[in-house]
Structure 1
Amino acid sequence: MTSIFVRSIQLLLSISILILIHELGHFLLSKAFKVRVERFFLFFDPWFSIFKKKIGQTIYGIGWIPLGGYVKISGMMRNEEIDSSSAKDWEFRSKSAIKRLLIVSGGIISNVLFSIIIFSFLLFKYGDTYLPTKNVKYGIEVDYLGKKIGLRNGDNILLVNGKYIPYFNDIPKAIILGNSITIDRMGKVIHLSLNDDKKRFFFDRKEFSFFIKPRVPPIINYVVKNSESYKSGLKNNDEILAINSEFILFSDQLKDILSKYKNQTILISINRNGRLLQKEVFLDQKGILGVSLKNFMEMDNIFLFEKKNYSIIESFLYGAKRTWDVLKNQIFFLKNVFHIETKAYKQVGSFFSLAKEFPSQWNWWIFWTLTGTLSIWLAFLNLFPVPSLDGGYILFILIEMITKKRINERIFESCTIIGFLIISLMMVMVIIWDIFKVFFS
């Protein structure tokens, strides 16, 4: 229950920040062009609100439905047709097309800038840690997904899409976006194609996992307290060399070997600071040893990492690049959603799926990384030319700028209502689909 609560709070805080930033973009540009803003609300407030207060000409408040927010701009929506010449100078409709376009685009602009600021700050504060591909000395370890696309434990990845990838961190993304992989398997060069039938494995899975990672020796990170291994004297940093008479070189070999000795006492040979020791450990019916092994990030004595720090100017340049990279990945995913054979539609989700992306323990780096990702995603979705979204308003204004004629406001309002109903129906369908995935899949 605690992990669910922590994830929910992180999601609610992230969404609240993004809504405020988005609506603030509309608000500030409205004020800049001397357009009156009647209401500024976090969340929707049909019938009643949790909090509201009028300051100047604007009512600020918090609604009770956490599915969005809004600013009500004077003269943006009308119930009857009035010639624009009769508009008050503080109304939206009295402004030039370019000013109205900027006001409507304000939310998108602010979300893009916010994403860049987040990624720039993270790069400036934490820098970047890379593992050069050439330093992946033992090849790769793959999970069930990696095996489905044709990879095997111990493979060395040479090229993706015919290109050498300098840093291992970028290889998984390159594979998902690419069409081919060239590998070295025990001295033999093999070419693997990645068609839509294989790519569906990336999306047709119940939970996220790293389908490839550097292969590592089996070194104990920590021993579970009161486990059989703990009682037998295994310690942190022990390197497992053999189980009974079977030698072990890599972590991926350990699970297969342990599965053969369920409900048995095994003899484990270990290397402890250069000393060869042997310990007897009883395995339960699941073949669980009761230890956690180190991953490659915890083996900087074996893998040579590169750490890059950024100046303020560099952090903004690379922050903008990272924002663009995130957007490209999202566009790629959306494109695959409409390719039924990839089954990417299975990964579409609502706030239930979003909550699962946040960690069960509070981590500010992950929180801001996800918030930056969601910010550019929100900007991208709002660009869609659907009435009731910012993109719908932008489309109508662009048509006006091209034709030199204003769209009939009754048609505009009717399209906005229809667009709102379509978006609402889609949201309900996604929520129902998400509930089905979480509770019945």
Structure 2
Amino acid sequence: MTSIFVRSIQLLLSISILILIHELGHFLLSKAFQVRVERFFLFFDPWFSIFKKKIGDTIYGIGWIPLGGYVKISGMMTNEERDSSEKEKIDWEFRSKSAIKRLLIVSGGILSNVLFSFMIFSFLLFKYGETYLPTKNVKYGIEVDYLGKKIGLRNGDNILLVNGKYIPYFHEIPKAILLGNSITIDRMGKIIHLSLNDDKKRFFFDRKEFSFFIIKPRVPPIINYVVKNSWGYKSGLKNNDEILAINSEFLLFSDQLKDILSKYKNQTILISINRNGRLLQKEVFLDQKGILGIYLKNFLEMDNIFLFEKKNYSIIESFPYGVKRTWEVLKNQIFFLKNVFHIETKAYKQVGSFFSMAKEFPSQWNWEIFWTLTGTLSIWLAFLNLFPIPSLDGGYILFILIEMITKKRINERIFERFTIIGFLMISLMMIVVIIWDIFKVFFY
């Protein structure tokens, strides 16, 4: 329950920040062009609000439905007929402004979300720098999960090219494979070319939960932590012990350990270990699950084996990275959306609501991960709002662009009807996605 609460709080905080940033973009540009903003609300407030206060011409408040927020801009949606006595209102109404000013006001939320992502990614680089493992320093090949095996990869493979290109840093390989069409590998000296067609890519998406499939550098089986009171702990295993053999079966890599242990469930085994250069043997009883009660080190904890590259950046140097990272996130979202409509990949199964987003946050608070996910969601929100659907920013942008091209204003009543239809469409889509998310959790 604690992990669910922590994830939910992180999601709520992240969404709240993004809503405020988005609506602030509309608000500031409205003020810059002297357009009156009647209401500025975090969350929706039908019937009542949690808090509201009027300052100047604007009522600021917090609603009770955390599915978005809004700014109500004077003259943006109205079917009221004007007469000459209302002429003084024209100067501060949205519809009184030129097309280019209205376009900027409507685009303000999208622009502010893009700018916010850029600032987050730039600051993260300035704060934490970069620590990367060059692909050329992956000494023992790769370790893959079942998804990697489904597309033809095997433990110990060395990845040479993806889509005919050399990938300089190891962390970029999973994404390159997901976006690519071919992989060239070295398997024990034999060069093999794997194609990635739609049938193979279906394995990435046709499952209950979506995440990048796991490719790791293959590593020796060195103990990172022994669980207190486990069978391994009682038998004298210690942190930093390197496992050399189980009974008479030698092993060189971590991925071999699980397969070997599965053969000796409910049995006592003899483990040969290297402890600071000394060869030791320990008898350990395995329970019916074949669990020793140990956690092995991953490649990030083996800087004595793998040669990493670390680079720190000044705040100025981090800006180009912020632009690059923002663009990369946007490209990934476009790719995923393309696959959602490509039925063969079954990527539509990974569409989710707030429930799915909450799972992406860690069960323990981590500011670096929090801001990384918030930056990603910010550019995602900007991208979604570009869709030319009435009631989204993209719908307003489309109508204004049509006006700029035809030199004629679209009838306000027609505009309002389309906006209502768009709102109903989006509401229906949200309901369907939420129901689908619940179905995936309990039935799929």
Does the C-alpha gap of structure 1 residues 387 and 202 become closer, same or farther in structure 2, counting only changes over 3 Å? same
Task: Tell me how far apart the structure 2 counterparts of residues 419 and 60 of structure 1 sit (CA, whole Å).
Answer: 26
Task: Tell me how far apart the structure 1 counterparts of residues 51 and 282 of structure 2 sit (CA, whole Å).
Answer: 64
Deviations 1:51-89 (A, max 9, x none): 00001110000000000000000010112354899xxx0
Q: State the partner residue of 2:232.
A: 229
Moved more, 259-268 or 208-217: 208-217
Distance apart, 1:341 and its partner CA: 0.7
Task: Tell me how far apart the structure 1 counterparts of residues 170 and 162 of structure 2 sit (CA, whole Å).
Answer: 11
Deviations 1:385-421 (A, max 9, x none): 0000000000000000011100000000000000000
Q: Could you say what secondary structure the match of 1:260 adopts? A: helix
Q: Could you say what secondary structure the match of 2:81 adopts? A: coil
- Is the 8 Å Cα contact of residues 84 and 93 (structure 1) preserved in structure 2? no
Equivalent residue for 1:435, pick from 428, 433, 438: 438
Q: State the partner residue of 2:103.
A: 101
Runs of 4+ in 1 over 4 A off after TM superposition: 81-85
Does the C-alpha gap of structure 1 residues 83 and 365 become closer, same or farther in structure 2, counting only changes over 3 Å? farther
TM-score relative to the length of structure 2: 0.97
Deviations 1:271-302 (A, max 9, x none): 11111111110000010111000111111111
Task: Tell me how far apart the structure 2 counterparts of residues 210 and 438 of structure 1 sit (CA, whole Å).
Answer: 19
Moved more, 196-205 or 43-52: 196-205
- Is the 8 Å Cα contact of residues 219 and 238 (structure 1) preserved in structure 2? yes
Task: Tell me how far apart the structure 1 counterparts of residues 374 and 43 of structure 2 sit (CA, whole Å).
Answer: 17
Task: Tell me how far apart the structure 2 counterparts of residues 84 and 241 of structure 1 sit (CA, whole Å).
Answer: 91
Task: Tell me how far apart the structure 2 counterparts of residues 185 and 317 of structure 1 sit (CA, whole Å).
Answer: 37
- Is the 8 Å Cα contact of residues 80 and 410 (structure 1) preserved in structure 2? no
- Is the 8 Å Cα contact of residues 209 and 350 (structure 2) preserved in structure 1? no
Task: Tell me how far apart the structure 2 counterparts of residues 267 and 348 of structure 1 sit (CA, whole Å).
Answer: 48
Task: Tell me how far apart the structure 1 counterparts of residues 205 and 414 of structure 2 sit (CA, whole Å).
Answer: 40
Distance apart, 1:141 and its partner CA: 0.4
Does the C-alpha gap of structure 1 residues 380 and 90 become closer, same or farther in structure 2, counting only changes over 3 Å? same
2:123 aligned with 1:121: yes
Deviations 1:247-268 (A, max 9, x none): 0100000000000000000000
- C-alpha RMSD over aligned residues: 1.2
Does the C-alpha gap of structure 1 residues 400 and 435 become closer, same or farther in structure 2, counting only changes over 3 Å? same
Equivalent residue for 1:352, pick from 355, 360, 367: 355
Distance apart, 1:438 and its partner CA: 1.2
- Is the 8 Å Cα contact of residues 124 and 310 (structure 1) preserved in structure 2? yes
Distance apart, 1:210 and its partner CA: 5.5
Does the C-alpha gap of structure 1 residues 83 and 206 become closer, same or farther in structure 2, counting only changes over 3 Å? farther
2:279 aligned with 1:276: yes
Distance apart, 1:310 and its partner CA: 1.3
Does the C-alpha gap of structure 1 residues 231 and 208 become closer, same or farther in structure 2, counting only changes over 3 Å? farther
Q: State the partner residue of 1:242.
A: 245
- Is the 8 Å Cα contact of residues 175 and 212 (structure 2) preserved in structure 1? no
Equivalent residue for 2:223, pick from 202, 210, 220: 220
Distance apart, 1:311 and its partner CA: 1.5
Q: Could you say what secondary structure the match of 2:92 adopts? A: coil
Does the C-alpha gap of structure 1 residues 209 and 410 become closer, same or farther in structure 2, counting only changes over 3 Å? closer
How do 1:91-170 and structure 2 match up within 5 A? 91-170=93-172
Q: Aligned residue pairs: how many?
A: 438
2:288 aligned with 1:285: yes
- Is the 8 Å Cα contact of residues 129 and 312 (structure 2) preserved in structure 1? yes
Does the C-alpha gap of structure 1 residues 209 and 326 become closer, same or farther in structure 2, counting only changes over 3 Å? closer
Deviations 1:133-168 (A, max 9, x none): 000000000110000000000000000001111111
Unaligned runs of 5+ in 2: 86-90
- Is the 8 Å Cα contact of residues 81 and 410 (structure 1) preserved in structure 2? no
Does the C-alpha gap of structure 1 residues 209 and 255 become closer, same or farther in structure 2, counting only changes over 3 Å? farther
- Is the 8 Å Cα contact of residues 198 and 345 (structure 2) preserved in structure 1? yes
Q: Could you say what secondary structure the match of 1:153 adopts? A: coil
2:300 aligned with 1:315: no
Task: Tell me how far apart the structure 2 counterparts of residues 81 and 284 of structure 1 sit (CA, whole Å).
Answer: 80
Q: Could you say what secondary structure the match of 2:228 adopts? A: coil
Q: Could you say what secondary structure the match of 2:18 adopts? A: helix
- Is the 8 Å Cα contact of residues 43 and 70 (structure 1) preserved in structure 2? yes
Q: State the partner residue of 1:35.
A: 35
Deviations 1:293-317 (A, max 9, x none): 0111111111111012112122111
Distance apart, 1:207 and its partner CA: 3.1
- Is the 8 Å Cα contact of residues 41 and 71 (structure 1) preserved in structure 2? yes
Q: Could you say what secondary structure the match of 1:329 adopts? A: helix
Does the C-alpha gap of structure 1 residues 411 and 309 become closer, same or farther in structure 2, counting only changes over 3 Å? same
- Is the 8 Å Cα contact of residues 333 and 344 (structure 1) preserved in structure 2? yes
Distance apart, 1:204 and its partner CA: 1.5
Distance apart, 1:129 and its partner CA: 1.0
Deviations 1:12-33 (A, max 9, x none): 0000000000000000000000
Does the C-alpha gap of structure 1 residues 240 and 209 become closer, same or farther in structure 2, counting only changes over 3 Å? farther
- Is the 8 Å Cα contact of residues 121 and 322 (structure 2) preserved in structure 1? yes
Task: Tell me how far apart the structure 2 counterparts of residues 262 and 145 of structure 1 sit (CA, whole Å).
Answer: 26
- Is the 8 Å Cα contact of residues 143 and 210 (structure 1) preserved in structure 2? no
Task: Tell me how far apart the structure 2 counterparts of residues 219 and 437 of structure 1 sit (CA, whole Å).
Answer: 37
Distance apart, 1:205 and its partner CA: 2.4
Deviations 1:178-207 (A, max 9, x none): 000000000000000000110011112223
Task: Tell me how far apart the structure 1 counterparts of residues 425 and 419 of structure 2 sit (CA, whole Å).
Answer: 10
Q: State the partner residue of 2:301.
A: 298
Unaligned runs of 5+ in 1: none
2:213 aligned with 1:198: no
- Is the 8 Å Cα contact of residues 204 and 210 (structure 2) preserved in structure 1? no
TM-score relative to the length of structure 1: 0.98
- Is the 8 Å Cα contact of residues 210 and 350 (structure 2) preserved in structure 1? no
Task: Tell me how far apart the structure 2 counterparts of residues 223 and 115 of structure 1 sit (CA, whole Å).
Answer: 40
- Is the 8 Å Cα contact of residues 238 and 272 (structure 1) preserved in structure 2? yes
- Is the 8 Å Cα contact of residues 118 and 323 (structure 2) preserved in structure 1? yes
Distance apart, 1:208 and its partner CA: 4.5
